[in-house]
Amino acid sequence: MAERPFVPSAAGAVVSRPPLIRGNKTAGDVTRDITRLLESRPTALWWFAFLMAFSIFALGALAVGYQTAVGIGTWGLNRTVGWAFDITNFVFWIGIGHAGTLISAILFLLRQRWRTSVNRSAEAMTIFAVICAGIFPVIHMGRPWLAYWLFPIPNTRGPLWVNYKSPLVWDAFAIGTYFTISLVFWYVGLMPDLATVRDHVRSGLCKRLAAFFSLGWNGSYRTWHRYEVVYLLLAGLATPLVVSVHTIVSWDFATSVIPGWHTTIFPPYFVAGAIFSGLAMVLTLVIIARKTMHLEDYITQRHIEPMCKLVIATSGIVAMAYLTEFFTALYSANPYEQFAFLNRAFGPMGWAYAIMILCNVLVPQLLWSSKVRSNLAVVFVISLLINVGMWFERFIIIVTSLHRDYLPSNWTSYRPTPIEVATLAGSFGLFFTLFLLFCRFLPVIAMAEVKGVLREGHATPVESAAVPVPERVEEPALVYRQADAGAGS
């Protein structure tokens, strides 16, 4: 408090905001609401969605099996367009993952308390998206069983080490680290909740697994104290990590000499685009989860609103990058550079460019209106469109830059084969299969974190504990008992 006596002026009353969590929940309510989801039998809707997702995943798995057995010739790639659907999907999925880390780490560092309701599912999304992403470069190798060659292990070839000057090796390290740290971060966040599941779910597989994986967590404050430090440190590490991952993905392209790929703005542009697409995916998933699992009290307008605003901000950065790239191509007076961008916008794949501009630049502007932001159906549609747009962005960057390069005699086009389409669909199937399993077997809301922000927006101040405020005592389920004779009372 101010050392000098200072009374805020009459007008300076504290402006109140709507609560983060609705329905005047107590900590006990949170435990009951979330653990109940794990005890109940899956609904028909869940089964329908799961079987749907799983069968699409199975289709994708068949496609991957076929192309592994037969070879990459089953794809539509050719000598000019050497990267297309595979790398597009890879960049798309990696990008999706980034919003999870944004919400769990960056917003944690920025002390944005609204993140607590969505961070668990956003982090789960990150992990599943990275799994989907990792599949594509590996199957693109053609001989995926040699993927371990990416690691610098002593070998009988010299030892011939991996080429640390290659962005593709950087990529392997970046994705590996990202996956590991995201998983650890997620697990550390889960530990207290697993203890709650262990103690408050009646029986079943969930309870037994939680008992094993909660590592004997008992809520000791000494552990909590260190836990907070570890969580902060992990957030501090994950923040530069998430930036580095998409930066390195962008370097896969930008270190080359291909017009449209080699441009210095790529690192921040890719990172912003990744967070943009990832936030859209978080919105998609959160709106579905809110509806199907009846989490209306936990995922409120106070959560949707800031995500929509972040979508506008990242959309603006992405739009600025499109503009900068195009302008600089014209400004460069370099005919190759200019051709690459004019060909993107007005060439044979101009339709894809139009979709990209529409979905990534124009549609998100609707979110400026608070009416649109509060209409979840519209937000849902916008988030889907953004995902389409961001997929096309990567497709445009990769395919239109390649299909007409320096030599017109090399010019060709690209058309995906059914195998490639099935693989893309399969990755979505895998993603949703994993997400639906997560919803069934793990607490979808970070209970321990939500319990800490329940009072956010409610009037009772937490800090004035010097004079204890009479609190509503829980139902008298607990008996005042004395253990053994002697002291105690």
Partner 1 sequence: MSQRILFGVFASEADILGVVRAAREEDLKVLDVYSPYAVHGLDQALGLKPSRLPWVCFLVALIGAVVKLWFEYWTMVVSWPVNVGGKPWDSLPAFVPVTFEVMVLSSGLSTVFAFLLISRLWPGRRADVPHPKVTDDHFVIALEESGAAFDPGRVQRLFERFHVVAVEERLVEETRPSERSRKMSVRTLNIALVVLLVGTLGLTWWLRPDPTQLNREFMPEMVRTPRYNAFEPNPNFPDGKTLRSPVPGTIARGMLPIHYQATPEDALRAGEELKAPFALNDERAIERGAVVYANFCQACHGPTGRGDGPVALRGFPAPPPLMTDRVLKMKDGQWFHIVTYGQGKMPAYAAQLSPEDRWNVIAYGRALQRRSAPPAAGGSQ
Partner 2 sequence: MSPHQEFELSVETPGCLRVLLAVGALSALLGLVLAPARTWPMLLLASYALMGFGLAGVVFIAIQYVAGGHWSVAIRRIPEAMTAALPVGGIGLLAVVLLRPSLYAWSSHLPEPAEGWLGFKHAWLSYPFFLARTLVYLLVWTAFARAIVRASRQQDSTGDPALTHRNARLSAAFLVIFGLTFWLASFDWVMSLEPEWYSTIFGIYNFSGMFLGGLAAMAVLVVWLEKAGPLAGVVGPQHRLDLGRLIFAFSTFWMYIWFSQYMLIWYANFPEETSYFIARRGPYWTTLFVLNVFLNWVIPFFVLTPRANKQNPRVLTSASAVILLGRALDLFLMFMPPFAGNEFAFGIWEAGILLGAFALFLHVFLRAARQAPTVPVGDPFLYESFQEHG
Beta carbon nearer to partner 1, 167 or 268: 167
Residues 221-240 that bind partner 1 (CB under 8 A): 221-230, 233-234, 237-238, 240
Scanning residues 197 to 226, which ones bind partner 1 (CB under 8 A)?
198-200, 211-226
Q: Is 347 in the site for partner 1 (CB under 8 A)?
A: no
Q: Does 175 bind partner 2 (CB under 8 A)?
A: no
Assigned token pair, 316: 């603006």
Q: By CB under 8 A, tell whether 332 contacts partner 2.
A: yes
- Residue 479 binds: one of partner 1, partner 2, none (C-beta under 5 to 8 A by kind): partner 1
382: nearest Cα among 304, 265, 300? 304
CA distance 485 to 128: 55
Region 291-310 residues binding partner 2, contact defined as CB under 8 A:
309
Nearer to partner 2, 15 or 477 (CB): 15
Residues 236-255 that bind partner 2 (CB under 8 A): 240, 243, 247, 251, 254-255
Angle at the Cα of 129 (from 123 to 132), degrees rounded to 5? 150
Among 56, 63, 81, 195, binds partner 1 (CB under 8 A): 195
Question: Which residues, at least 6 apart from 344, have a Cβ–Cβ distance to it below 8 Å?
Answer: 260, 350, 353, 396, 400, 401
**Neighbour tally for 28: CB within 10 Å:** 13
State the Cα–Cα distance between residues 251 and 265, nearest whole angstrom: 10
Q: Which does 224 bind (CB under 5 to 8 A by kind): partner 2, partner 1, none?
A: partner 1
> Which residue among 21, 49, 84, 174 contacts partner 1 (CB under 8 A)?
174
Q: How many residues bind partner 1 (CB under 8 A)?
A: 92
Min dist. Cβ of residue 27 to partner 1 (A): 3
- Count, residues near partner 2 per rule CB under 8 A: 48
478: left (phi over 0), alpha (psi -120 to 50) or beta: beta
CB of 121 to partner 2, least distance (A): 23
Angle, helices 418-441 vs 119-140, to 10°: value is 150
Subset of residues 437 to 476 that bind partner 1, contact rule: CB under 8 A: 447-449, 451-452, 462-466, 468-471, 473-474
Q: Which residue has the tokens 């799961």?
A: 50
CA-based nearest residue to 420, from 2, 37, 54, 60: 60
Task: Tokens for 276, please give them.
Answer: 């943009």
Let me know: does 60 contact 422? Beta carbons within 8 Å.
Answer: yes
User: What would the two tokens of residue 343 be?
Assistant: 């060909």
Binding residues for partner 1 restricted to 96-155, rule: CB under 8 A: 143, 145, 152
Tokens of 338: 């200019």
Restricting to residues 348-387, name those near partner 1 by CB under 8 A.
Answer: none
Cβ contact 261:254 at 8 Å: yes
List residues binding partner 2 (CB under 8 A): 1-4, 6, 8-15, 109, 240, 243, 247, 251, 254-257, 262-268, 309, 316-317, 320-321, 323-325, 327-328, 330-335, 338, 342, 463
